[in-house]
Amino acid sequence: MNNPFAAIKISERVYWVGAIDNEIRDFHGYSTSRGTTYNAYLILGEKPILVDTVKAPFFPEMLARIASVIEPEKISYIISNHAELDHSGALLPTIEAIKPEKVFVSKMGAAALKEHFNRHLDLTEIKSGESFTLGDANLVCLETRMLHWPDSMFTYFANDNILFSQDGFGMHLATYKIFAEENERTTLQHEAMKYFANILLPYSSFVTKLLDVFPSFGLDVKILAPDHGPIWHQVQDINWIMGLWQKWAKQEPTDKIVICYDTMWDSTAKMARAIADGIMTEKAEPKVMPLSSCHRSDIAVELLEAGALLVGSPTINNQIFPTVADVLCYLKGLKPQNLIGQAFGSYGWSGESIQLLQEELKSIKIELFDNPIKAKYVPNNDCLVLCKNLGQNIARKLKS
């Protein structure tokens, strides 16, 4: 009873032995305002198996949770579904502590782990899609390349109908309610959407392909256990999250128009407000996102269910305002699809940023709606009417 951390039973033979990170607020550029979890799973049986580990600082916690169920040295195997360090950071100390007979990885995982740790590792590559047995555990591993890394893999534990889906169907949410159904549905939907928009978006076509072929694998999944956030523990919830992924991967445009901007002396902000007014009069949805209070990862979330992106920036020292440049760089990597867009902004001398913004939108493959709108110093009434007209026209186009 002197163990501070306990494993949580999630099925007949499987325990959650992960860690809850209440403090993380930045996940390589993505704002994790509700923290996250690093989920690792212990399968009991003739030959106990550990599925994934945790971020390095949480290794003692994971080991303590394992020890609340069995002596860690009794674990025979590790399956590493994903090499990213939030799941493999504790792999080396875990191997050292439990000395498993084998560590199973995908082909790409073997290469990635060796390159991460820059040392020889005795890893066993698994063939994707082939059933295999470890002791009395019946398993299938499925490579899910580029979901979201080349090494990514799912593991299905047939005895308890659990699919361990590493980052798949996860979210950054530090919660002590480890089953999805115990959490607020709106929170789950928001955080799952944020995760998809910021992590999976560039790989949407891979998501669609996977979900299209998934039924053909014939897996009877009753529990979906990702490496972040709550566990999908009810079949209707599994269908719900998979349905959302299917929808998000399509990136179908709506009549929501995201207006993302920053401002120096309120001129660009005035233009943004006039554009929003035009959108409102057409009964479309303006989403006004000043970068003084909106994070780049929140822009990505809103764009996932939008039809247009309007970007505004003043010109500062012949350049785009730094916060706006930051968002555009981030979006270029996320490769959002099916958007139209346009630039607007104020300037004092030469106004380079407006043309630079249009070029950036083109490079993100956002279809330009019209020529950009520029205001010298402070937008006059005519300029604000032009902004309002832009809002109306773009809204009409999306609603038509």
Paired strand residues for 21:
36
Among 47, 87, 194, 296, binds ligand FEO (CB under 6 A): 87
Window of 80-88, 230-238, 333-341, 366-374 that interacts with ligand FEO by CB under 6 A: 80-88
* Binding map of ligand FEO across residues 264-283, x = CB under 6 A, - = no contact: --------------------
Can 167 be counted among the known catalytic residues?
yes
| Other C-beta atoms lying within 10 Å of the C-beta of residue 299 | 25
- Interface with ligand FEO, residue 228, by CB under 6 A: yes
- In this structure, the strands spanning 367-368 and 340-347 are parallel
The DSSP symbol for 116 reads: H
Window of 70-78, 83-91, 119-127, 302-310 that interacts with ligand FEO by CB under 6 A: 83-91
C-alpha distances in angstroms, 388 versus 158, 301, 302, 344? 58, 25, 21, 12
Give the span between the Cα atoms of 232 and 163, in whole angstroms. Answer: 10
Give the span between the Cα atoms of 89 and 121, in whole angstroms. Answer: 14
Can 277 be counted among the known catalytic residues?
no
Instruction: Give the N- to C-terminal CA distance of the chain in Å, as an integer.
Output: 66
Which H or E run contains 325?
helix 322-334
Window of 11-19, 81-89, 102-110, 307-315 that interacts with ligand FEO by CB under 6 A: 81-89
Return the beta strands (E) in 147-250 as ranges.
Answer: 153-157, 162-164, 223-225
- Interface with ligand FEO, residue 21, by CB under 6 A: no
Can 228 be counted among the known catalytic residues?
yes
CB of 253 to ligand FEO, least distance (A): 28
- Interface with ligand FEO, residue 84, by CB under 6 A: yes
Among 47, 65, 82, 287, binds ligand FEO (CB under 6 A): 82
CB-based contacts of 183, cutoff 8 Å, min separation 6: 173, 175, 177, 230
Among 86, 255, 285, 305, binds ligand FEO (CB under 6 A): 86
Residue showing the smallest CB distance to ligand FEO in the complex: 84
Can 87 be counted among the known catalytic residues?
no
- 3-state DSSP of 54-72: CCHHHHHHHHHHHHCCCCH
- Interface with ligand FEO, residue 143, by CB under 6 A: no
* CB distance 41 to 52 below 8 Å: yes
Q: Using the minimum distance from each CB to ligand FEO, give the nearer residue, 27 or 369.
A: 27
CB of 205 to ligand FEO, least distance (A): 18
Give the span between the Cα atoms of 397 and 395, in whole angstroms. Answer: 5
Among 227, 282, 285, 305, binds ligand FEO (CB under 6 A): 227
The residue annotated as part of the active site, out of 21, 61, 86, 227, is 86
Residue 377 token pair: 């110093």
Closest to 30 measured CA to CA, from 197, 245, 257 = 197
* CB distance 353 to 319 below 8 Å: yes
- Interface with ligand FEO, residue 172, by CB under 6 A: no
Can 190 be counted among the known catalytic residues?
no
- List active site positions: 28, 82, 84, 86, 148, 167, 195, 228
**Interface with ligand FEO by CB under 6 A: which residues?**
82, 84, 86-87, 148-149, 167, 227-228
